[in-house]
Amino acid sequence: MGLPWIRLDTSTFDHPKMLDLMDDKQYRAIVVHLAGMAYSGKHGLDGYIPKAALRVIGGTAADVKRLVAADLWDEHDGGGWDVHGWKDYQFSSDEHEARRQRLSERGRKGADALWAKRNGTD
């Protein structure tokens, strides 16, 4: 199961790596980077972007070169790329699933307690 959302730091667009891309007018590469992050999160890939996904996220080989050169993506052994620093800033799919289950269990217990109180069976 993938992530329903990814974390995006409020300083993303004033980070030196992004500022360098903006100075070079590489806005498409920036969008490909963000789309790659969303794709990886959605599909539970923990920062990995398979080569086959490049077309889906609107990227080109030139965009990849720019993102790798900017140290935003790393070459992945066996093909594709890893979002640089993903594990430092994002939940892994396993962490998200464990968190979702904990919250679901707490919600179920809370609902049970509420219904028991309303029905006088607490």
Nearest to 67 by CA among 85, 88, 90, 89: 85
Residues 34-81: tens digit of each pLDDT = 999 999 999 989 999 999 999 999 999 999 999 999 999 999 999 999
**Cβ within 8 Å of residue 93, ≥6 positions away:** 1, 2, 3, 44, 45, 46
Nearest to 21 by CA among 68, 81, 75, 80: 68
Residues 69-117: tens digit of each pLDDT = 999 999 999 999 999 998 886 765 666 566 666 656 666 666 656 677 7
Residue 120: per-residue pLDDT: 76
pTM for the full model? Answer: 0.74
Token pair belonging to 19: 């500022």
Confidence of residue 20 (pLDDT cuts 50, 70, 90): very high
> What is the three-class DSSP state of 96?
helix
Where would I find the H helices in the chain? 16-23, 27-42, 53-56, 61-69, 86-89, 93-119
| Cα–Cα separations (whole angstroms), residue 92 to 7, 68, 104, 118 | 11, 22, 18, 39
